[in-house]
Amino acid sequence: MSLRHALLGLLAHGSASGYDLLGTFQGSLANVWPATQSQLYGELNRLADAGLISVVAEGPRGRKEYAITDTGRAELQRWLTEEEPERNRRNDMLLRVFLLDLVEPAQARAFLDREAALAAERHESLRKLDESIEWDDSPLSRYGRLTLEWGLRATAMHREWAEWAAARIDAGGRRRGG
Amino acid sequence: MSLRHALLGLLAHGSASGYDLLGTFQGSLANVWPATQSQLYGELNRLADAGLISVVAEGPRGRKEYAITDTGRAELQRWLTEEEPERNRRNDMLLRVFLLDLVEPAQARAFLDREAALAAERHESLRKLDESIEWDDSPLSRYGRLTLEWGLRATAMHREWAEWAAARIDAGGRRRGG
DNA sequence: CTTTGATATGTCAGTAGTGACATGTGCGCG
DNA sequence: CGCGCACATGTCACTACTGACATATCAAAG
């Protein structure tokens, strides 16, 4: 149920409409906690029903501006400090590696090459993003930078691993022969 | 729908019952693609209905032994070589880091310390697992080792990042003062 | 012989997330 | 003035996954 807390967290930084929040989810939050429009509007209504947020203004085109309530802030604090983060262990890519003995070594090698290339691409795109942002001393800037750094390190690690693994497949093939 | 392909992949290595497969999902596959019992039995029936697997023997206690069919093998091949792995971007832990400016620096620091400690623990447990397994030249051994190595590198990276981030929070606090 | 635990499969209600569809409005540009 | 795009919210059917419940059997230990 982290979407709930993501919304509370964003609203804790300032009131906003569903549409505004959607923009954030498709922007800076896309790499951390993506959400679809339908899910978002539904959750906002549920949060309002539960009294964790409330409509503070209505604008043109039916726009509803939400703000976090005291109850909502308390819940957010509780979540941040007391609740253990859910570790998402499912990894489609690793599942495939686990089963990679079912295809020819050349295909396994191609798979890992592709992983390495994609990780490199993703790393580069994060690096550019990092450069393009004007980081300042604001709290959001400080912690946003930490998450981006995680992405940089994760993509670097993934690339190195894939290259190592690809080389190991070649070595394994040779070992079988000799 | 990767559970489907995980099951096909396991059955491609040899026929087994739902109960056997459940053991694998709670064992070696737990860190890659966990699945509950209810989900597993349901999917096996759906796979059999679709003709991707078939019951090849019935044992005591209603045991049903499944084997992969040619259609199933073809589908597995297609999945492994043609379908792009789903990248799971949702990360509860990173979402919290992103919102960590909402709590006191000391609490943020504690959060990251805990992350570092947990990553170290997980790394150590994987290292022991690695040592305890007698890796041979079998294909399953070779590719299983690659996934484990990914885990080792991921936990190491995560720990280093958390330690770096914790230090950065301290530095940020001082910078604000000076 | 009885009890216990591992083997073995199944159902069900509920939650989270997806993608498509539906609908209407205000703003700026030509 | 009217056209199109961005703004803005909502519904719906479907899929994946979870945790709890239900049920029965065989083997071994006491």
State whether B98 and B173 are in the same domain: yes
Answer whether B39 touches A (CB < 8 Å). no
What is the residue range of B17's domain?
Answer: 2-82
State whether A108 and A41 are in the same domain: no
Task: List CB contacts (< 8 A) between B95 and chain A.
Answer: 2, 5-6, 9, 29, 32-33
State whether B41 and B72 are in the same domain: yes
User: Looking at strand C, which nucleotides approach a protein CB closer than 7 A?
Assistant: 7-13, 15-21, 24-27
Answer whether A101 touches B (CB < 8 Å). yes
Rounded Cα distance between B5 and B23, Å, is: 17
State whether B96 and B168 are in the same domain: yes
**At which of B62, B82, B102 does a domain end?**
B82
- 3-state SS track over B15-78: CEEHHHHHHHHHCCCCCCCCCCHHHHHHHHHHHHHCCCEEEEEECHHHCEEEEECHHHHHHHHH
Q: Within a domain: residue A71?
A: yes
Q: Within a domain: residue B87?
A: no
Q: Within a domain: residue A87?
A: no
Residue B176 has pLDDT above 50, yes or no: no
Rounded Cα distance between B63 and B124, Å, is: 38
DSSP output for A114-134: HHHHHHHHHHHHHHHHHHHS-
State whether A139 and A107 are in the same domain: yes
Residue of A9, A87, A142 lying closest to B99 (CB–CB): A9
pLDDT digits (tens, 9 = 90+) for B36-58: 999 999 999 999 999 999 999 99
**At which of B82, B106, B133 does a domain end?**
B82
Distance A40 CA to C24 C1' (A): 19
Answer whether A105 touches B (CB < 8 Å). no
Answer whether A30 touches B (CB < 8 Å). yes
State whether A36 and A101 are in the same domain: no
For residue A61, the distance in angstroms to the closest alpha carbon of chain B comes to 30
pLDDT digits (tens, 9 = 90+) for B81-116: 999 999 999 999 999 999 999 999 999 999 999 999
Average pLDDT, chain B: 94
Q: Within a domain: residue B69?
A: yes
State whether A77 and A103 are in the same domain: no
Residue B174 has pLDDT above 60, yes or no: no
Rounded Cα distance between B74 and B93, Å, is: 38
**At which of B64, B82, B100 does a domain end?**
B82
Q: What is the pLDDT of residue A178?
A: 32
Cβ-based neighbours of B74, under 8 Å, separated by 6 or more:
none
Q: Within a domain: residue B151?
A: yes
Q: What is the CATH number of the domain that holds B59?
A: 1.10.10.10
Give the number of other Cβ atoms within 10 Å of residue B102's Cβ. 21
**Nearest to residue A16, comparing CAs of A50, A51, A46, A40?**
A40
Domains in chain A, number: 2
Q: Within a domain: residue B71?
A: yes
Report the C-alpha dihedral over residues B43, B45, B50, B55, rounded to 10 degrees.
Answer: 120
State whether A76 and A144 are in the same domain: no
Q: What is the pLDDT of residue A9?
A: 98
B12-21 mean pLDDT: 98
User: Looking at strand D, which nucleotides approach a protein CB closer than 7 A?
Assistant: 7-13, 15-21, 24-27
Q: Within a domain: residue B58?
A: yes
In a structure prediction context, what are the per-residue pLDDT tens digits for chain A, which is 178 residues long? 899 999 999 999 999 999 999 999 999 999 999 999 999 999 999 999 999 999 999 999 999 999 999 999 999 999 999 999 999 999 999 999 999 999 999 999 999 999 999 999 999 999 999 999 989 888 778 899 999 999 999 999 999 999 999 999 988 755 544 3
Q: Within a domain: residue A162?
A: yes
State whether B110 and B157 are in the same domain: yes
- 3-state SS track over A139-156: HHHHHHHHHHHHHHHHHH
Task: List CB contacts (< 8 A) between B142 and chain A.
Answer: 101, 168-169, 172
State whether A135 and A158 are in the same domain: yes
State whether B70 and B21 are in the same domain: yes
Identify the sign of the CA torsion B133, B136, B140, B146. positive
State whether A56 and A96 are in the same domain: no
